[in-house]
Amino acid sequence: MITHSVVVVVRRWLLVLIVVLLPLCYGGIVSISGQKLDDVDKQLKHLNKPALKSIKSPDGDIIDCVHISHQPAFDHPLLKNHTIQMRPSYHPEGLFEENKESIPKSNEGISKSITQLWHLNGRCPEGTIPIRRTKRKEILRARSIKSFGKKQHGIIPEPTMSTQPINLSAHEYAMVVVQGDKYYGTKATMNVWKPIVQQSNEFSLSQLWIVAGSYPSNLNTIEAGWQVYPYLYGDANPRLFNYWTRDAYNTTGCYNLFCSGFIQTSNKMALGGTISSISAYGSSQYEYNFLVWKDTTTSAWWLQFGNEVVGYWPTSLFSYLADSASMIEWGGEVVNSASDGQHTTTQMGSGHFPGEGFGKSSYFRNIEIVDGSNNLRAPKDISTFTEQSNCYDVQTGKNGDWGNYFYYGGPGRNPNCP
């Protein structure tokens, strides 16, 4: 007869085996050896707030509808007594209103409203926010419990305040940069793809950066866009994300809602949720507006995906960005781990070079900055940056319909990028 105590012991040993063996299923990612399973479960309890409703997404995600006042942001010591601002004081005034924008006639699949896969099975009620539930195996893939959901300081080479971004490790960029002034936000329209990522500890993303301070000690950033990152999410779906830090990724900030800080107000968008409409090569293109701007009434930085205001970063989270940004960047980033001694085959954007143009290459269009008068306007004196143009490249342009735009991306390893 098997006693209850025996069952408990067996279960505990099975969980220990999971801790040791599970990372081997993800491309040899390092185990969190030495961490107690109880610590993992404690972190899960901290991340996964009690839900009023839960929705099973077709991609396997669980979306928890959490009361807005119980979200992770309010675990931050500076936000314990924070009063939620449900909407921004105002939006930026500016150029390229939606009814003035022109899309190539071949773009029959154009979309303005971001839809996420979980929307097929339900929506979160008013007064709640959707939070993608964190799974045990996702924390087990991390280098440590403490590092889960964070970028690695000293390894991920975020752009600095030098004349050009620098690359301190295996990250590669194809981007457009503007600096030399005070900036209070940016708006851009980008199309969304599903690039192939060679291995799970590499990623491919397209995003905007709002930057102040300097690397490697006091860099402040606000980041938003879409990414494919199997190591973090466990699959190859393109997902909406944001990120922030105030000390160059040393101790502050994280992706999405994996730590306290960003305050979400929307009950429609799940940070880290899969985007359901994706561009196809030579076929329908799906693009979305991304807007981040500073509310000078409250000094908060607001985030909007498509037509949906998602939430804000309170000014108390930052040092340099408490005032303004000194650099804005737009573009793509990949990890080139060169695990087999060759350049990665991880794609950036569509996986095709800028020269292939509309419907085949990835792009940003109508890129604008918010100035000190809260006006959206075209950036001046933009520059481009890429490490290896034979692997990933960027080409800029300007016209009356798309304003300042650029195509970017590439396939990674190819005959000219060994």
Catalytic residues: 223, 333
Termini Cα distance of the chain: 62
* SS (HEC) of the chain: CCCHHHHHHHHHHHHHHHHHHHHHHCCCCCCCCCCCHHHHHHHHHHHCCCCCEEEECCCCCEEEEEEHHHCHHHHCHHHCCCCCCCCCCCCCEECCCHHHCCCCCCCCCCCCCCCEHHHHHCCCCCCEEEEECCCHHHHHHCCCCCCCCCCCCCCCCCCCCCCCCCCCCCEEEEEEEEEEEEECEEEEEEECCCCCCCCCCCCEEEEEEEEECCCCCCCEEEEEEEEECHHHHCCCCCEEEEEEECCCCCCCCCECCCCCCCEECCCCCCCCCEECCCCCCCCCCCEEEEEEEECCCCCCEEEEECCEEEEEECHHHCCHHHCCEEEEEEEEEEECCCCCCCCCCCCECCCCCHHHCCCCCEEEEEEEEECCCCEEECCCCCEEEECCCCCCEEEEEEECCCEEEEEEEECCCECCEC
- 103 CA to centre of own chain: 26
CB-count exposure of residue 340 (10 Å: 0-12, 13-18, 19+): exposed
CA pair distance 176, 191, nearest whole angstrom: 16
149 Cβ neighbours under 8 A, 6+ residues apart = 142, 232, 254, 255, 256, 258, 259
34 Cβ neighbours under 8 A, 6+ residues apart = none
Q: Which two tokens stand for residue 120?
A: 């097929």
